[in-house]
Structure 1
Amino acid sequence: MIVRIMGEGQVEVAGSHLAELNKLDDELLAEMEGGDESGFRRTLGALLEAVRRLGKPLADESLEPSELILPAEDATLDEVREMLTDEGLIPDSV
């Protein structure tokens, strides 16, 4: 699957990593619902780092359609809330 991190570019991540990313997404959602700003910041960073670590960056000139769009690391709680679906940032299946 192709994941875009806003402000950074695209990364290709194998679907086999979806469970690991969903676990972090669930943690992020719980922290957002609880208003835990420091937990939100920590988990958003961990989620983005996992995508970077598990994925292969696509060339800047590549224009693949993104299946997932994730916020930038410095995104605010409100900005991330606007990006959420019923399943969080990452759906259970892509």
Structure 2
Amino acid sequence: MIVRIMGEGQVRLDNDHLTELNKLDDELLAEMESGDEEGFRRTLAALLEAVHRLGAPLPDDSLEPSELILPSPEATLEEVREMLSDDGLIPG
């Protein structure tokens, strides 16, 4: 799976890691619903760190179609809220 982190580029990630990422996505969704800005910041950073740790960055000149788009680390709670689907940021 190709994941784009807005403002950073793309990462190739094995589908095996979706379970771990979905746990963080669920936490992020709960923090957003409760308005927990501090928790939201912490979990967004953990989610993006996990994508970097588990994935392999694609070269900057690579233009692969992204199957998943994640917000930048600086995204606001409102910006991320606009990106959400019913499943959160990560389907499944």
Residue type of the partner of 2:28? L
**Partner of 1:10: helix, strand, or coil?**
strand
Find the counterpart in structure 2 of residue 31 from structure 1: 31
Q: Distance in 1 between matches of 2:18 and 2:79?
A: 23
**Partner of 2:69: helix, strand, or coil?**
strand
Structure 2 unaligned spans of 5+: none
Q: Distance in 1 between matches of 2:86 and 2:19?
A: 17
* Offset of residue 32 of structure 1: 0.2
Find the counterpart in structure 1 of residue 45 from structure 2: 45
Q: Distance in 1 between matches of 2:65 and 2:22?
A: 21
* TM value normalised by structure 2: 0.99
Compute the RMSD of aligned alpha carbons: 0.3
Structure 1 unaligned spans of 5+: none
> What does 1:72-83 correspond to in 2, within 5 Å?
72-83=72-83
* TM value normalised by structure 1: 0.97
Identity %: 78
Structure 1 residue ranges (4+ consecutive) displaced by more than 3 angstroms after TM superposition: none
